Amino acid sequence: MVRGVIPSAPCVSVLLTRMIYGLPKRGTHWKTREATNHFWELSFEPICIDRMDFMTTDLDSTQLSLNSKTASLATQIEDLVAGNLSSPMDILGWRRLKKSSSDIIVRTWNPNAQQVRLVVDESDASQEMQRVHPAGLFEARLGPANERCLAAGSYQFVYQLETQTITMSDPYTVPSYLGEFDLHLFGEGKHYQIYEKLGAHQRTVNGEQGVNFALWAPNAKSVALIGSFNDWDGRMHPMQNINRSGVWEIFIPQAKPGDLYKFRVTTTKGLQVDKTDPFGFFSELPPRTASIVQNLNEFKWTDNDWLANRRKNETLDGPISIYEVHLGSWKQREGGPHGWINYRQLAHEIVDHCKQLNFTHVELMPVTEHPYTGSWGYQTTGYFAATSRYGNPQDLQYFINHCHENGIGVLLDWVPAHFPKDSHGLAKFDGTALYEHADPRQGEYPDWNTLIFNYGRNEVRNFLISNALFWCDKYHIDGLRVDAVASMLYLDYSRKQGEWVPNHLGGRENLAAIEFLKQFNEQVHSQFPGVLTIAEESTAWAGVSRPISAGGLGFSIKWNMGWMNDTLRYIQHDPIHRKYHHDELTFSLVYSFSENFMLPLSHDEVVHGKRSLLAKMPGDEWRKFANLRLLYGYMWAHPGKKILFMGGELAQWNEWNCNQSLDWALLGNEKHAGIDRLVGDLNRIYCTEPALHELDFDGAGFQWIDCQNREDSRLVFVRRSTAGEEVIVACNFTPIIRKQIRIGVPQLGRYEEILNTDSSYYGGSNFGNATAVEAEALPHHDQPYSIQISLPPLAVVMFKLEG
């Protein structure tokens, strides 16, 4: 039995062909009989058939070959009905019946329609379309006079549903939003504005507004668009595989911002899974996962002066002191879900706080959409979507714009190292390992139970680089802090022998990831001058913050994890034992200028049982606070840019909890308020004294005066500016007051104490140098001159030459 669906064919015959020795041997034509609704069928004895041609009186011969890549019209219709059609434009829309014919056929597909009428604009009349398949395929024949209107898209379908009537243009005659050059660049991994093409974008076609949806899923059998505009019916809108490129597309007339949608992907194994848009700009509030159509170009930015100054001042000799923030737990309010506050309200409160404490930048822990709040945003599913926890994309744009208007830069945590396995996300996106590696030795992180991007695939690399540029473009971000860079650089990262695959040279370096990071840095710095790229990289990999032309990875700055680990280890020793660990203080200056380093006291140091910074400090309560002031003073005096996690300024006793607000009530206690004031003054002096920031990355900006006094656990050094201005720094890591000690200085004159962490203003004992001290011509510490000072207990003091 052979059955087929061939609309508009009053007579059908079938030609059976057998292949003999590679040459066709034609059989006879059998006339078929019509069953119902344009089904045609033929019964015959079992024979060996190599090819079967349906010959109709009105249609071109439509060939079905068992070895052919082109399906017959009958098969295409059956695929459409089953939801497996990859090229709906081949049968839907309008077309001439034959090249030699002037008759035109128009088809539409709506499984929920009871009747459909075709309205052609210039005819000012409608024509009822014939149902040619019971599942919802309708067609109409028109004369040649209508061709001009059809070609211009000047026709509509009027769908009579059970409870309503809907009028809509034809989505299957709309030219593609992506040109051949778009597809070519994307295939090469160099379409850096691909976010303007893939995803959901408002578009006007033939005067009608709608939304264009596009998706990369090259191994899918078919893709359907589902959403609030079609009642999530996967039969309604099959998408077109553009030129078999693996990019699927459809234009939905009358779709609009605010509409919810997903992509229903059918794999080659016939499995269906509903996916969030990888390029979607907004999503539902978790645990819901639908994407939401958004227009990111409506917000009115007022930060042109900020952006212009950023481009002019793209050097790294300015002060950079960053306040790291998790928006969901900085402050919380009753009424919102989980106490979360809107981006706009947070903008004003965080800006006021940062201005009071003189921070130059805010760094936001990931605000890309993520399903699990407890991941803090580091397990991202929506790389282009601002998380809906704190508002919509325009609210986040307002946050950043307000920061810029108040002279504060905004950095984002960005996570291109891995992504979660959630079924609605990137994992097994089209039924295959598309964004990740198929081999778990390359494609999974055992520690985090997450998947690793396949950096060797052009389109994946393009996805990530365009995402980085997207945040700079659409959100005016001033920098990206790249998470977990070490895990990207090494194939054996956190793996045992036999659990990883060497590169083609036999080494452990992830060569594809290395090239990706270079390309990322190159594009960010060339397209957005002045934007920072910051690497959280914890190994001794050389040249992370060196130019690509010099063999480096091209980052602006690298986190100094060695300084952080050594310093926190040292400061937790009881002061009586610190003389045995003096090298933990001094070792960082051996390598401090090998990279452009940032000194981090981040969220990672105050979670998972590590205790808060204050709780880490040894001794009784007085010593804990004194040690914390000492730590901050040493950090701000040490070469390198600064980053402090929220709550550090409050001297919190408790570890950070992402589900709880910071303990702001602590500021009512004078000891905690003193720490807050100290952080503000450290930032003020750091920003206003060029000696403390201009040469952070140059050995000319630092000189030891005394680094050998391990018995007294004392350090003395000088910081210099490009103009030769100097700040003398003396640190006492013991609780013993050092009266009238002599330290060497490079110049004669009067030295004024410009900061003392033991001041009573900060909660200290107020011991120090109330008046300026005069340098004498007494050589000391290999310096030509010296001064006598008093050094407070567990404190840092800074001196500057008057005048």
Q: What is the rounded CA–CA span in Å between residue 417 and residue 20?
A: 56
Q: Which of 126, 100, 105 is nearest to 38 (CA)?
A: 105
Query: Alpha carbon 254 to chain centroid distance?
Result: 30
- Give the number of residues written for the chain: 803
Q: Where in 392-459 does DSSP place strands (E)?
A: 409-414, 418-419, 444-445, 450-452
Q: What is the rounded CA–CA span in Å between residue 394 and residue 412?
A: 16
Q: Which of the 8 DSSP states describes residue 391?
A: -
Q: What is the rounded CA–CA span in Å between residue 283 and residue 3?
A: 45
Q: Where in 97-219 does DSSP place strands (E)?
A: 104-109, 115-120, 125-128, 130-133, 137-142, 155-160, 165-169, 199-205, 208-216
CA dihedral 302, 304, 305, 308 (to 10 degrees): 160
Encoding tokens for residue 251?
Answer: 């234009």
H or E segment at 149?
helix 147-151
Q: What is the rounded CA–CA span in Å between residue 479 and residue 493?
A: 26
What is the dihedral sign for C-alpha 336, 337, 339, 344? negative
- Give me the amino acid identity at 24: P
Helices (H) and strands (E) in the chain, counts: 17, 45
Is 689 assigned a catalytic role?
no
Three-class secondary structure of residue 23 per DSSP = strand
Sheet with strand 444-445: strands edge to edge: 418-419, 450-452, 444-445
Encoding tokens for residue 22?
Answer: 């590679």
Query: Alpha carbon 335 to chain centroid distance?
Result: 29
Catalytic residue among 78, 459, 536, 726: 536
Encoding tokens for residue 330?
Answer: 């900085």
Q: What is the rounded CA–CA span in Å between residue 216 and residue 246?
A: 6
Encoding tokens for residue 394?
Answer: 């325009």
Residues 6 or more apart in contact with residue 362 via CB below 8 angstroms: 322, 323, 325, 350, 354, 403, 408, 409, 410, 411
Catalytic residue among 436, 483, 605, 676: 483
Encoding tokens for residue 14?
Answer: 């079938």
Phi, psi torsion values for 625, nearest 5 degrees: -65, -40
Strands 641-645 and 199-205 come out as unpaired
Three-class secondary structure of residue 242 per DSSP = helix
Whether the CB-CB separation of 588 and 594 falls below 8 Å is answered with: no
Is 726 assigned a catalytic role?
no
Sheet with strand 39-42: strands edge to edge: 2-5, 39-42, 33-34
Residue tagged 């001041």 (tokens): 759
Q: What is the rounded CA–CA span in Å between residue 19 and residue 478?
A: 67
What is the dihedral sign for C-alpha 651, 653, 659, 665? negative
Q: Which of 731, 764, 738 is nearest to 624 (CA)?
A: 764
Strands 165-169 and 155-160 come out as antiparallel
Write the CA distances from 361 to 303, 353, 358, 400, integer angstroms. Answer: 15, 12, 9, 11
Whether residue 287 has a cis bond before it, omega within 30° of 0: yes
Residues 6 or more apart in contact with residue 164 via CB below 8 angstroms: none
Write the CA distances from 704 to 418, 590, 640, 745, integer angstroms. Answer: 42, 11, 16, 11
Encoding tokens for residue 369?
Answer: 């959409």
Residues 6 or more apart in contact with residue 335 via CB below 8 angstroms: none
DSSP bridge partners of 274: 264
Catalytic residues, by residue number, are 483, 536
